[in-house]
Structure 1
């Protein structure tokens, strides 16, 4: 299993990965979690996918086992423009050194063996890839809107969320916003907890290595 880093335009050139990612998001957010998301032709896609985000995909034999979307906080993003209520009246992060992650999910039905603490290895791999990706771009933190379940998963993985506001009920989800540190210490903690020894992220130029 590897992590592929793709821009939106690059993803469109790999239709199998694009459909795999949007199908996984449909299964997780639309069907399993029953979030109020937009689904068309079996794919979960929203307006933030039109803003040319970056994506990290955990893939095995070109099957998408996990994904996360990344957008700069200097433009439109989910925390600032969809969920500002989670900030308790504070301003949303707006800095070139802070990007936002959203639509993080892992295929719970995949046959991969869970790690010792019960989390899927794809979860740790994506967490580590997010930090590594951020370090390569000199980010200080990653902002995110998540639920309390995922906040606990992050804590178990050794990546602690610094809350930006109090949890609030949004639809069927108890949601919370926060910042995740992008530091060498955070990367080492996730790698140690998940028993990860690699930090390479595959790029479009060598994506064939993941086939």
Structure 2
């Protein structure tokens, strides 16, 4: 497995990865988690995909088995514009050193069994890639809206969420917003917990090596 970092424009030059990511999001968020998301022609796509995000994709044998979307908090993003209720009375993060992650998911059906601590290697790879990408772009934190289950997964992986508000019921999900630190210490913790010995991200020019 490899993790590929692709801009929105670069992603559309790789249609197999594009459709694989949106199909995976449909299977996870619409079918498995029963979230209220928009699905068209078998693909889960929302308004934030039109805002030129960066995507990190876990690729195994040319199949997308994990993904996450990254957007700057200085523009429109899910926390500020869709889920501000999760902030209690705080303002949404708005800083060039804080980006937002959303649509994090891993294909639990096609991957190997969980590791000894209950998490799959693709989950650790994607967490590590998020921190690496953040370090490369001088971020200090990643904001995210997630559920309490994922908050526990992050804690088990060694990456602790600093809550920005109290959990709220949103649809079928108990959701919470928070900040994840982007530091070398956080990266080491995830690498050690997940037994990752190498840097996770490969460059877009090496996307063919992900096969």
* TM-score above 0.5: yes
1:154 aligns with 2:154: yes
What's the TM-score once normalised by structure 2's chain length?
0.99
1:84 aligns with 2:70: no
Matches for 1:41-56 after TM superposition, within 5 Å: 41-56=41-56
Give the length in aligned residue pairs.
Answer: 211
Which portions of structure 1, spanning 4 or more consecutive aligned residues, are displaced by more than 4 angstroms?
none
Contact 1:70 1:101 (C-alpha < 8 Å) held by counterparts: yes
Q: CA separation in 1, counterparts of 2:34 and 2:171?
A: 9
Q: Deviations over 1:93-121 (max 9, x none)?
A: 00000000000000010232422211111
Contact 1:131 1:187 (C-alpha < 8 Å) held by counterparts: yes
Q: Unaligned stretches of 5+ in structure 1?
A: none
RMSD of the TM alignment (CA)? 0.7
Contact 1:113 1:121 (C-alpha < 8 Å) held by counterparts: no
Q: Unaligned stretches of 5+ in structure 2?
A: none
Residue in 2 that maps onto 1:206: 206
1:14 aligns with 2:8: no
Residue in 2 that maps onto 1:39: 39
Q: CA separation in 1, counterparts of 2:63 and 2:24?
A: 10
Residue in 1 that maps onto 2:4: 4
CA shift, 1:206, in A, is 1.2
1:106 aligns with 2:106: yes
CA shift, 1:200, in A, is 4.1
